[in-house]
Amino acid sequence: MAVNEAERSAMRRALELASLGPRGVNPQVGAVILSPTGEVLAEGWHHGAGTPHAEVDALSQLAPGAARGATAVVTLEPCNHTGRTGPCAVALIEAGVSRVVFALDDPGAVSGGGAERLRDAGVGVEAGEQADAARALIGGWLAALRLGRPHITVKWAQSLDGRAAAADGSSQWITGHPARADVHRRRAQADAIAVGTGTVLSDDPALTARDGDELHPRQPVPVVIGARATPSDAAVRRHPRAALFYDTRDLHAVVADLHARGIQSVFVEGGPTLASAFIAAGLVDRVLVYLAPVLLGGERLALTDIAVPTIAEARRLTIEEWVPLGADLLAVGHPTSVNENDDENEGAG
């Protein structure tokens, strides 16, 4: 049975409701319950870990039996497992819902399978309605689920000859205003922004995301990694979000803790030591390199040791796009996979 206009409208509303929920360990999910004639009976969304899932949140607003014969429109396949809450598929079956329309399959090995359970109970199921919009909404959660850790972007700005700073250590500003504005826009899209203690001590960055002179409504959690102490009057301590400090060089432990806290994406800003450590550890999913048309010379390289002893072991990147930003140029790429290398080698024949 094809999705009708009332269900399409309900899915658009469910996506709006989903966006009200917090980003974190659990996905943002919204639900709308429709009567057999297409009228909205109830709405709900997931308010955070440990709270009722979107379907149950919506059902809780109805009197017993009021959902019998109704249609549930949900942004993610109803779950099929018992955690801190029960299986949503079972809740819908017990409520007497006769049809479920959802946008995305639940990719969880434990939580997936709700659609099959619904069908086995005689409930009509339609999957894929506005899937692209739902995927865009919870893309960070999907990436973190796939990776088993946050999605990590490493960013740096450099001169054409690969320097991050001049001989005296000054680095503001290598790039122009359009490039810096682009950085702030990308900061606001991340859940956390990470720097090393060296950068905190030398530059005293605020680590905020700004739109001109104003703070962006969405701010990343500042993360400082390194053994040296952060001064009590450091700008990062005045950030709108409480900073996280890690006195360790074990980046895998840091990333695991961030993942446990519900951080889905990390924006690594520097400096060269921290950026190089993430690359050497294989903890990079995307690279942003802002290239400025200046020459600096000297020893202050944008990257240091990234564990490449020979050219055969170079860490190759696949460039996704080149973005002109005023006089500067942004390279957006990701580490080249084995399959991509194989494709290139086949093409070279």
Catalytic choice (43, 55, 77, 269): 55
Report d(CA 207, CA 200) in Å as an integer. 10
Q: Nearest-CA neighbor of 31 among 114, 107, 116?
A: 114
Residue 55: active-site member: yes
Cα distances (angstroms) measured from residue 12 to each of 17, 53, 102, 105:
9, 18, 11, 17
d(CA 155, CA 242): 22
Give the helix/strand (H/E) hosting 137.
helix 131-137
> In whole angstroms, what is the distance from residue 7 CA to residue 157 CA?
47
CA separation for the pair 271, 289 (Å, rounded): 13
Can you read off the two tokens belonging to residue 150? 């946050």
- For residue 174, which of 268, 23, 298, 320 has the smallest C-alpha distance? 298
Catalytic machinery residues: 55
